[in-house]
Amino acid sequence: MDKYGLLNWKEFGMPDAPSIKTLFCPVKYPGQDIVAEYLEKGKTHLVSPSLSQDKISGDLIKPYKTVCIKSNDIFSWDGSLSYYVRKYNLRLPEEYENYIFQNT
C-alpha cells in the first residue's frame, strides 16, 4: 500500500495523477459513512492556517476546516478527504477501503 496514495490526485497538486473525479459514485454506497468517520478520526500531523477549499467547486468547505494532513501511521491523507466521501460519494481505492473495513 502506497503510504501517500490518498494524496495522489491531480486536484491535490499531482499534475500527472488521475483526477479524483474518476472515483466519484452517482449514489451513496454501503459503508460510506464508516469510511468518512474513519478518515475524520485520523491523527492530525500537519496543519496550515488556511481554510480547505473544495477542489471541484472552488467553494470553501463548510463547516470551515483548516488545511491539514491526517494519518493512521500507515498511510496519510488530506484532512478534507472525508468531505469528498460524503459530498461526492468518493470511493477510495479498494486496498484502502478494505483496510478501513478490517480495522473498524
Between these two residues, 7 and 28, which has the higher pLDDT value? 28
> Does 13 fall in a domain?
no
* Residues 52-67: tens digit of each pLDDT: 999 999 999 998 888 9
> Does 61 fall in a domain?
yes
> Does 72 fall in a domain?
yes
> Does 67 fall in a domain?
yes
pLDDT > 50? residue 1: no
> Does 12 fall in a domain?
no
CB 70 within 8 Å of CB 42: yes
CB 95 within 8 Å of CB 25: no
> Does 85 fall in a domain?
yes
pLDDT > 80? residue 70: yes
> Does 64 fall in a domain?
yes
Give me the domain span that covers residue 75: 21-91
- Taking the C-alpha atoms of residue 20 and residue 90, their distance in angstroms, rounded to an integer, is 8
Report the predicted TM-score, pTM, of the whole model to 2 decimal places.
0.91
Please state the domain count of the chain.
Answer: 1
> Does 10 fall in a domain?
no
CB 18 within 8 Å of CB 10: yes
* Pairing, β 76-78 against β 43-51: unpaired
3-7, 34-38, 96-100 — which one is most confidently predicted on average? 34-38
- Taking the C-alpha atoms of residue 96 and residue 75, their distance in angstroms, rounded to an integer, is 9
